[in-house]
Amino acid sequence: MARTQKRKLNTPFADLVPPLSSVEFQILKADIEANKIRVPVVIDEDDNILDGHHRYQCDNDPPTVVISGLSELEKKAFVIKANVARRNLSPDQKKELARVQKKLCLELKNADKKYTQKELAVMLGVSQQTVCEWLKPADRPTNLTRSTNSGTTSNRDGNGKPGRVSNPNTDSRVKVNPKRKPEIADRVQSGESQAQVAADFGISQQAVSRIAREEQKKAEIIQQREEASERIQTNCGVIHGDFRKAGAEPESIDLIFTDPPYDRESSSLYADLAKYAATVLVPGGWLLAYSGHANLPDVYKAFSETEGITYAWTFCILHNDADLRFRKYKLHNAWKPIVAAYKPPLAVSWEWFKDVASGGKEKDLHEWQQSELEAAYFIEPLASFKAVVCDPFCGSGTTLVAAKRLGRRWIGFEINEEHVLSARMRIDGTQESLRT
């Protein structure tokens, strides 16, 4: 007895809706293998699948039911409605699909066949109110929500039933764990479809594309930093001299962490420091400098107006058991600012950390000495392992000691010869990190 030849079905509408996640697809496949296909695949008269693309992937000889007489736009509307009605989509996926529905709604409205708003709502699986808003002229405001006494908003869900949504000021987008972003980029880089990656993470394809671009940029910056670090001496040191003259090679430093003098006569040093940072920092590198409160206007001006760097933030260092007083205003000064800028482009690769720190008071080696713990608190996130940390006002070497303990490369400049010797002795006695 001759076997009946399997009919090959076509999938021109497969990309209209997000695919199942890999886990969901494996569950569906296992169910079909155990129980066969219980819901027929819906096709049109030309053997194009309208509903059941995933079932067809699991079984290429499924039972089918034919719906004929639909226009091309009506077929697209059927595909979307059939999936929206039963799929558990993420907020990002729903938002992306809503854009597709709105575009299709406008195309149907402008088609040769005239549809009422009620007919369009039924076809697309949305409320008539939603269709009305979609069809409003561009110069008329849209408002799919109405106020409630609780301050939340409500509208109608995809089946036309009243539904409750969160406050419009709430960001309901899916948040991707930063640790998993490289995984997304690797999957895209390996050639996997962005639609499938988006489905597995419950985000939009635009988000997948953006993450892939950002991770690629980070990888390029890391490579630039590695190449730059090879251009400076492997065994860094404390250099006796003015950083403005001795300097460092362009784009060879990952992080500048320093504590310049605070007196008014030294305010111009911050402008020089900013220019220095614009030259020696690698792209994405950071400049952090302690500042006195009275100096802040000059520091902000230097860090904001110097071409090549961008002011970013002011960190807070809490004083421990210190009774510093600002007599002019009768203030007990309980914190010290660290002003931060970066060299574009911005490349945030670290985990979250607070902008307030405290490491105690250490003045035994230098009158301006700051806490090693404070330096380490910022070096660890902002300078990756084996990165180059620079202190143009290294004094007793606190920043360099912290960098060495954390396994970073280090280079410092100091104009006072006695302090240079003290810093070198201190650093020589510091145990380097065993991290690799």
Structural domain boundaries of the chain? 14-144+158-164, 178-224, 231-428
Q: What is the mean pLDDT of residues 103-121?
A: 88
Rounded to whole angstroms, the Cα distance separating 254 from 280 reads 9
pLDDT at 20: 86
pLDDT digits (tens, 9 = 90+) for 136-145: 876 555 554 4
List the single range of 156-160, 204-208, 306-310, 397-401 with lowest mean pLDDT: 156-160
**pLDDT of 268 strictly over 80:** yes
Rounded to whole angstroms, the Cα distance separating 285 from 413 reads 19
pLDDT digits (tens, 9 = 90+) for 366-377: 443 457 899 999
pLDDT digits (tens, 9 = 90+) for 205-223: 888 999 999 888 888 777 7
pLDDT at 393: 94
Q: ∠ CA(295), CA(403), CA(395), 5° rounding?
A: 45
Supply φ then ψ for residue 139, to 5 degrees. Answer: -85, 0
pLDDT at 140: 56
Assign 353 a pLDDT band (cuts: 50, 70, 90). Answer: very high
More confident residue, 414 or 145: 414
Rounded to whole angstroms, the Cα distance separating 282 from 255 reads 9
Assign 382 a pLDDT band (cuts: 50, 70, 90). Answer: very high
pLDDT at 139: 56
Rounded to whole angstroms, the Cα distance separating 354 from 349 reads 15
Question: For the domain with range 231-428, which CATH number is right: 3.30.450.60, 3.30.70.141, 3.40.50.150, 3.40.50.12280?
Answer: 3.40.50.150
Query: What string of H, E and C letters represents the secondary structure of the chain?
Result: CCCCCCCCCECCCHHHCCCCCHHHHHHHHHHHHHHCCCCCEEECCCCEEEECHHHHHHCCCCCEEECCCCCHHHHHHHHHHHHHCCCCCCHHHHHHHHHHHHHHHHHHHCCCCCCCHHHHHHHHCCCHHHHHHHCCCCCCCCCCCEECCCCCEEEECCCCCEEEECCCCCCCCCCCCHHHHHHHHHHHHCCCCHHHHHHHHCCCHHHHHHHHHHHHHHHHHHHHHHHHHCCCCCCCCEEECCHHHHCCCCCCEEEEEECCCCCHHHCHHHHHHHHHHHHHEEEEEEEEEECCHHHHHHHHHHHHHCCCCEEEEEEEEECCCCCEEECCCCEEECEEEEEEEECCCCCCCCCCCCCEECCCCCCCCCCCCCCHHHHHHHHHHHCCCCCEEEECCCCCCHHHHHHHHCCCEEEEEECCHHHHHHHHHHHHCCCCCCCC
**pLDDT of 435 strictly over 60:** no
